[in-house]
Chain A
Amino acid sequence: MYDIERRALIKGAGLGALAFTVGGVEVMLTPRQAHAQNVPLRTLTADQAATLDAVGETLVPGAKAAGIANFVDQQISGPAEEALLQARILNVRPPFANFYRAALGAIDGAASKSKGRKFAELSADEQHDFISLMRQNKIENWQGPPGPFIFGVLRSDAVDVVYNTVEGYAALGVPYMPHIAPTKKW
């Protein structure tokens, strides 16, 4: 089998978890486990991850603990063809890391301009209001990918880690009913 196929299949079909690097060793973890174990980031900076955690939590309660930052970081650190992000479906042009850097930069830039603080440092009410304005493209002097598009992509990532897992189905009482189940509840 071709190398690229082997990689994609091994990290997908055979194992439901994702490959994270801990102490130089590749281990298979769910994003929630990676978050809980404070797995080092590979592409996002600590500041970017903090922004993503805060935006994710504002979009979908529970997204931070479900590992949205580790999920996105892992996904944008490998070849685009292996990425499982909704960005892929929304025609974002690889490398996907560029989009996330630009999106998180736009959010923090706008928050700093209007509030004098980064997004993660705003109060919960301020974060909610900011996201509402961003969704409606009502933040003035926005610099970066369109706010409504960022809203859609990051919201989808948050939905993925909170709802689109076996755990997420169970939490809402919906039978998952897989033909082929993702292992490790992912």
Chain B
Amino acid sequence: MANEKVDVVVVGSGASGSVYAAVMAKAGKKVVVLDNGPQWQLSDLISSDIWGRRLKPAGGPILLGGKHPFAYANQAAWAVGGAALHYFAQFPRYLPTDFKMKSEHNRGHDWPIAYEDVAPFYDAVAADIGVSGDAKAEEKWRPPGKPYPMPPMKTFPAGEVWLKGAEANGIRFVPMANGMNSTEFKGRAACIYDGWCAVGCPIGALANPVVTYLGEARKAGAEVRALSNVTRVLTNEAGTRATGVEYYDAQKQRQVQDASVVVLAAWSAQNPRILLNSATDKHPKGLANSNGLVGKFMMTHHIAGTWALFDKDITPHLGTVGAQFMSYDRYPKTSYPNAFGSSFMSAGASHKMSDYAQARGDLFGAELAAYMKKAVRGLTHLTIFGEDLPNIENRIELVGDKDEFGMPMARLIHSFDDDAVALWNANFEQGLKIAKATDAKEAWPGKGPVMPTSHLHGGAIMGTDSSNSVTNSFGQTHEIANLWMAGPCIFPTEGASNPTYTIFAVSLRGAENLAKTWGSVAG
């Protein structure tokens, strides 16, 4: 079935898609947003680790491979609002060094833009959706910008106990920047610190897309269609223009949505899958893929977590799941002698029962029961994310198995290189040193046989031209002017800090450019 043609169809309603929808709808364009997940209401966001799992895919269409498979389902979403409906809303930025890895270290890629190109959009996003933090304190690591609109979030003992250990190791902690309200902001409530952020914040204190950009988009007339699975981008006969998308609606009926511009904002795994599945005789390798770079350079952060157990009540159930403190003191890419890449530290996230149990995943029976009694009073965590370098072998590729709509599933193949493994190990050593310099009675690394992963980037990276990339710095594909990519898929390197603030900022930059250049793009 064909629907009335619109100006923009946005595929995905998470951090990137919601920004495009808001900007374009406010620019007067007719916008339709398609998302494969259901439209949960805020009242559906039950405070429970068990019920919160509904926000994630059940057997998503991405199969996993490689030596270090990516934790796909844990990070992905099945929801309008995307993964940003259940994200931690930690809002650190990337640093200037992240944009010029190739120039500075002859490794990885340079971005075709600099930190200074993105910085105004960090400030704009903060003003749009609310960020709590201490910008001045962060400026020991980054160029100055505007202050955040809200003061830092409250801190609790589970975060504060790390300060002594950090100081003893020369690590400076500052308040975490959070996409959460420390005070009421634009009619949205202030946080009440009950620690249930990661199963969805029903009071709107956490800046998820539903209560921010997607809400603005709807107010400006954008239509959001839930349970709509996009399978292909459609092109004209000459293969020179995108004409819309094919999707399957909530009743599993095939639909076509014609549009002047197509924006793929369905995350780093699904975006390449759609492009590869959109092959035609004019684009036999998939859309925007003449150079074979679609689906390549998939990157994810590795996690070195350190647990510390105190013999006093540090109220670990209180606070925000976005940690209380952060540090870029091991962010320089050559911080450790035998490793390469940035590391980003955070400490003092709130914990629930699943967290306590997973912190000692080896225990069971009476030992587990005894440990749980201590953990709920005294357990806290230090997280160090480490950077993965772009490697062309880490990729998305279509496989023979098909989903219920007849669309080939994809395999995400990912392995860390030796530098990443060395960085992971160095970060464990660093974390343990910090923990041992606190007053904790016990400390241990959260290290098992699997390298934990978080965040996904790459798959349609930006660059200077089609010799090295899929899109330009705004997300416009080199090959098809009215086909745009949005989200972390366009990041050519991944830094080490939580990426969503940068996703919002880079998407806002791209969306505003699309609005400005509409005449030439839409044709």
Are A and B associated in one complex?
yes
A interface residues with partner B (beta carbon < 8 Å): 2, 4-5, 8-9, 12-13, 16, 58-61, 80-86, 88-94, 128, 131-132, 135, 148, 151-152, 155-156, 159-160, 163-165, 168-169, 172-182
Is there an interface contact between A179 and B194, defined as CB atoms closer than 8 Å?
Answer: yes
Q: Provided the pairs A8-B38, A89-B53, A177-B47 are in contact, do residues A2 and B226 lie with their beta carbons within 8 angstroms?
A: yes
Tell me the bound Cα distance from A168 to B203 in angstroms.
Answer: 25
Is there an interface contact between B59 and A92, defined as CB atoms closer than 8 Å?
Answer: yes
Contact mask B194-227 → A, CB, 8 Å, 1/0? 1110000111000000000000000000000011
Query: Residue A182 contacts which of B38, B46, B201, B364 (CB distance < 8 angstroms)?
Result: B46
Is there an interface contact between A2 and B74, defined as CB atoms closer than 8 Å?
Answer: no
Whether B137 sits at the interface, judged by CB under 8 Å, is: no
Is there an interface contact between B73 and A13, defined as CB atoms closer than 8 Å?
Answer: no
Q: Provided the pairs A91-B72, A179-B45 are in contact, do residues A5 and B38 lie with their beta carbons within 8 angstroms?
A: yes
Is there an interface contact between B73 and A90, defined as CB atoms closer than 8 Å?
Answer: yes
Q: Provided the pairs A2-B38, A9-B44 are in contact, do residues A84 and B53 lie with their beta carbons within 8 angstroms?
A: yes
Tell me the bound Cα distance from A93 to B71 in angstroms.
Answer: 14
Contact mask B410-442 → A, CB, 8 Å, 1/0? 000000000000000000000000000000000
Q: Provided the pairs A172-B372, A174-B317 are in contact, do residues A89 and B47 lie with their beta carbons within 8 angstroms?
A: no
Q: Which residues of A contact B53 (CB under 8 A)?
A: 83-86, 88-89
Q: Which B342-381 residues have a C-beta within 8 angstroms of A? A: 352-354, 356-357, 361-362, 364-366, 368-369, 372-373, 376
Whether B238 sits at the interface, judged by CB under 8 Å, is: no
Closest 6 CB pairs of A and B: A178-B47, A13-B44, A94-B59, A80-B58, A177-B194, A2-B250
Tell me the bound Cα distance from A58 to B47 in angstroms.
Answer: 28
Whether B449 sits at the interface, judged by CB under 8 Å, is: yes
Q: Which residues of B contact A135 (CB under 8 A)?
A: 362, 364
Residue of B nearest to A13 (CB): B44
Is there an interface contact between A177 and B365, defined as CB atoms closer than 8 Å?
Answer: no
Is there an interface contact between B78 and A61, defined as CB atoms closer than 8 Å?
Answer: no
Which of A13, A80, A178 has the most chain B CB atoms inside 10 A of its CB?
A13
Tell me the bound Cα distance from A63 to B41 in angstroms.
Answer: 32
Q: Which residues of B contact A61 (CB under 8 A)?
A: 365-366, 369
Is there an interface contact between A8 and B54, defined as CB atoms closer than 8 Å?
Answer: yes
B39 nearest CB across to chain A (Å) = 7
Q: Which residues of B contact A89 (CB under 8 A)?
A: 53, 56, 73-74
Is there an interface contact between A2 and B227, defined as CB atoms closer than 8 Å?
Answer: yes
Is there an interface contact between A168 and B353, defined as CB atoms closer than 8 Å?
Answer: yes
Q: Provided the pairs A58-B364, A88-B53 are in contact, do residues A179 and B201 lie with their beta carbons within 8 angstroms?
A: yes
Q: How many residues of B contact A (CB 8 A)?
A: 55
Is there an interface contact between A177 and B202, defined as CB atoms closer than 8 Å?
Answer: no
B320 nearest CB across to chain A (Å) = 13
Whether B48 sits at the interface, judged by CB under 8 Å, is: yes
Is there an interface contact between A160 and B50, defined as CB atoms closer than 8 Å?
Answer: yes
Whether B167 sits at the interface, judged by CB under 8 Å, is: no
Whether B106 sits at the interface, judged by CB under 8 Å, is: no
Whether B236 sits at the interface, judged by CB under 8 Å, is: no
B217 nearest CB across to chain A (Å) = 20
A145 nearest CB across to chain B (Å) = 15
Query: Residue A155 contacts which of B40, B74, B364 (CB distance < 8 angstroms)?
Result: B364
Is there an interface contact between B369 and A60, defined as CB atoms closer than 8 Å?
Answer: yes
Is there an interface contact between B353 and A159, defined as CB atoms closer than 8 Å?
Answer: yes
Q: Which residues of A contact B201 (CB under 8 A)?
A: 179
A59 nearest CB across to chain B (Å) = 5
Q: Provided the pairs A131-B364, A163-B372, A173-B376 are in contact, do residues A91 and B196 lie with their beta carbons within 8 angstroms?
A: no
Whether B64 sits at the interface, judged by CB under 8 Å, is: yes
Q: Which residues of A contact B357 (CB under 8 A)?
A: 155-156, 159, 163
- Beyond contacts A2-B251, A59-B365, A131-B365: 19 other A-B pairs, Cβ-Cβ < 8 A, are A4-B38, A5-B226, A12-B44, A12-B46, A60-B369, A61-B365, A88-B56, A88-B57, A88-B73, A91-B64, A148-B449, A159-B354, A163-B357, A163-B372, A164-B353, A174-B376, A179-B47, A179-B192, A180-B47
Whether B49 sits at the interface, judged by CB under 8 Å, is: yes
Tell me the bound Cα distance from A19 to B366 in angstroms.
Answer: 31
Residue of A nearest to B69 (CB): A91
Q: Which residues of B contact A155 (CB under 8 A)?
A: 357, 361, 364
Q: Which residues of B contact A83 (CB under 8 A)?
A: 53, 58
Whether B405 sits at the interface, judged by CB under 8 Å, is: no
Tell me the bound Cα distance from A59 to B372 in angstroms.
Answer: 13
Q: Which residues of B contact A16 (CB under 8 A)?
A: 46, 51
Q: Which residues of A contact B47 (CB under 8 A)?
A: 176-182
Q: Which residues of A contact B353 (CB under 8 A)?
A: 159, 163-164, 168-169, 174
